[in-house]
Amino acid sequence: MEEGTKLEYNSVRNCKMKGKGGFRASSFIYGFVGLDNIGFVANMVSMVLYLSFKMHFDLSGSANTVTNLLGSTYLLSIIGGFISDTYLNRFNTIIIFGTAEILAWALMTIQARYSFLQPKANSLEGGIAVLFYVSVCLLALGTGGVRGALPALGADQFDENNSKGAVGKYFNWLLLSSVSGSAIGVTIIVWISTNKGWWMGFLISFATTFLGFIIFFFGKPFYQLQLPAQTPPLTRILQVIVAAIRNRKLQLPDNPQQLYEKDSDSSDPKIAHTNQFRCLDKAAVVPKSVEITEWRVCTVSKVEEVKIVTRMLPIIGSTIIMNTCLAQLQTFSVQQGYRMNRHFGSFEVPAPSVPVIPLLFMCILIPIYDLLFVPFARKITNHPSGITQLQRVGVGLVLSIISMGIAALVEIKRKNQSLKNPLQPIHVFWLSFQYAIFGIADMFTLVGMLEFFYKEAPIGMRSLSTSFTWISLSFGYFLSSAFVDIINSVTKRVSSSKKGWLDGQDLDQNNLQLFYWFLAILSCLNFINYIYWACWYKYKSDDHQTSANDIVLPKSASVSRVPFLKVDHENDVTLQGLEDHKN
């Protein structure tokens, strides 16, 4: 769609503009994502060492600072999503926040380059502290804002009604672009940072990010750009809540078809009524002798939008613990690797480069999953993505439990050997098991959540909705910091040594393995919680008229015949059934 073409909220694209959209447009986004992640991921996995050696943070302080930075980055993605849905189109939102990201890399490069801009011992204060915190805050704001708008912009290039599984394929290859760039970053950039100087690593991150934005900008003539709706998404949500409260004393009709709904053309699809959260239906009850206004009476479709967002909230909450586990692989596991034998022949692997193991696994497995597993599973389930998005997330949660259990066993082995003979530590290859399994878990969960939130969201709220994925990551990182502080505080009081599990900088004197066991048990309980909410979730069903055959098609995200996590039987249809109907 040409930029400047006004779209009504919830409108759909009936046909693709010639020369616009598709995988040609998304290729520019893939290039940008790959280059951007070269620097971002590399520095996030090595930042814990930079803070320890250059900024003189202690063990828990450096780990918490990194997790808080990542948590803030992903939390701020909601700002990018909100702005791109409300005020600017997604392209302009990315450009604006990208400028802040580039500036952040420049400031971090300058501070790492000159020693007089670095603290002495434990004295991060004054102008040095201001420069440090301004740069990391700009990095969080810029990177978060970009991630809030980018996934939805790429998915907008595909017509999900006419392209069989194209949106799911887009998210798979978006993840492949991300992990490919990340793999380059955690090997080359990390090696340069730890051996040639941190400032050189930041400088290369600045250069690759800047080049990525140039590639992204040159793709503008090929993008289908959608302008924000006239009524902001949050305003629509507030209108439903206010109307439901004002109409709370009214009686709901026995027949849902008597609820208020505007007549609209085929370009403005309606969302079918659901029986969950019936209290919100009162917003669609028309009071007698009252003028219909947006703050007094809302359409059924508008009410269902609020129901969709409400149903998503438990799914977001059920994935937070997994992202808390992910935070450990970027902090404590890197510190484990630093105390292990990292030699492969004469070459010594930098400790922050250990996460390349899951990234390489993902680089191999994502094409196999997309090109082989999805077509095979599609024949069995008739689902465009092979399996439903919630099934995919569930697989990832199970694998994360296994990863934390293995992480605990590996730490026990590392610690015992280190205490027995510090000069002969175990090889860093032992960390590959927990990293590889969690990498596969991340492949399932991250793409499953992005696709789930994009497809389930009302069209005018898709940037905001896909940012829910990053919000889950954000809460996971913040929860990690909270767990570290709480566990240190509690165990310090009850232990005979009066030291917490994660106190100090010496891993051999800590009980990191117990922290991993704690996360594994917590993840098991969380998976049970996730199963409940995933089975409770009712997929969206958009009823709209097709221009060709004038038939009503439920656009359900759950068209699988696989019983696990499939609850909306009454609205599910198979792809084969649709094809037979059309024929």
Q: Find out whether 37 and 188 touch, Cβ atoms under 8 Å.
A: no
Whether residue 204 is predicted with pLDDT greater than 50 in this model: the reply is yes
Using CB atoms within 10 A of its CB, is residue 123 exposed (0-12), middle (13-18) or buried (19+)?
exposed
Q: pLDDT tens digits for 423-438?
A: 888 888 888 888 888 8
pLDDT classification of 18: cutoffs 50, 70, 90: low
pLDDT at position 546 is 32
**Beta-bridge partner residues of 544:** 553
DSSP reduced 3-state for 390: helix
Whether residue 548 is predicted with pLDDT greater than 50 in this model: the reply is no
Highest mean pLDDT among 40-49, 202-211, 275-284, 507-516: 202-211
Is residue 238 domain-resident? no
Across the range 202-231, mean pLDDT stands at 88
Q: pLDDT tens digits for 144-168?
A: 999 989 988 988 888 766 556 788 8
Q: Where are the alpha helices (DSSP H) in 382-461?
A: 389-420, 431-456
pLDDT classification of 210: cutoffs 50, 70, 90: very high
Q: Check: pTM over 0.75? Answer yes or no.
A: yes
Q: Find out whether 170 and 33 touch, Cβ atoms under 8 Å.
A: no
Is residue 515 domain-resident? yes
Is residue 143 domain-resident? yes
pLDDT classification of 263: cutoffs 50, 70, 90: low
Is residue 551 domain-resident? no
pLDDT classification of 10: cutoffs 50, 70, 90: very low
Whether residue 112 is predicted with pLDDT greater than 60 in this model: the reply is yes
Taking the CA atoms of residue 425, residue 428, residue 432 and residue 434 in that order, the dihedral angle to the nearest 10 degrees is 50
Across the range 535-553, mean pLDDT stands at 50
pLDDT at position 206 is 94
DSSP reduced 3-state for 241: helix
pLDDT at position 2 is 41
Q: pLDDT tens digits for 438-477?
A: 888 888 888 888 888 888 888 778 888 888 888 888 888 8
Instruction: Report the percentage of the chain scoring pLDDT > 70.
Output: 86
Q: pLDDT tens digits for 378-416?
A: 888 888 888 888 999 999 999 999 999 999 999 999 888
Write the single-letter amino acid at 31: G
Instruction: Report the percentage of the chain scoring pLDDT > 90.
Output: 20
Is residue 270 domain-resident? no
The C-alpha atoms of residue 249 and residue 48 are separated, in whole angstroms, by 56
Highest mean pLDDT among 26-30, 62-66, 466-470: 26-30
Q: pLDDT tens digits for 322-370?
A: 888 888 777 777 778 878 888 887 788 877 787 787 888 888 888 998 8
200 C-beta neighbours (distance < 10 Å), count: 16
What totals of helices (H) and strands (E) does the chain contain, helices first?
A: 20, 5
Is residue 478 domain-resident? yes
Contacts of 308 by beta carbon, 8 Å cutoff, 6+ apart: 271, 456, 457, 458, 540
The C-alpha atoms of residue 71 and residue 423 are separated, in whole angstroms, by 37
The C-alpha atoms of residue 391 and residue 410 are separated, in whole angstroms, by 29
Mean pLDDT score across all residues of the chain: 80
Across the range 219-226, mean pLDDT stands at 87
pLDDT at position 36 is 92
The C-alpha atoms of residue 359 and residue 364 are separated, in whole angstroms, by 9
Whether residue 570 is predicted with pLDDT greater than 70 in this model: the reply is no
pLDDT classification of 34: cutoffs 50, 70, 90: very high
Whether residue 109 is predicted with pLDDT greater than 90 in this model: the reply is yes
DSSP reduced 3-state for 429: helix
Across the range 241-266, mean pLDDT stands at 80
Among the residue ranges 98-112, 490-504, 549-563, the one predicted with the least confidence is 549-563
Range of the domain at 499: 22-228+307-536
Among the residue ranges 157-171, 423-437, 507-521, 547-561, the one predicted with the least confidence is 547-561
The C-alpha atoms of residue 305 and residue 142 are separated, in whole angstroms, by 29
Is residue 157 domain-resident? yes
Among positive and negative, which fits the CA dihedral 385, 389, 395, 400? Answer: positive
CATH of the domain at 166: 1.20.1250.20
Is residue 291 domain-resident? no
Count of structural domains, the chain: 1
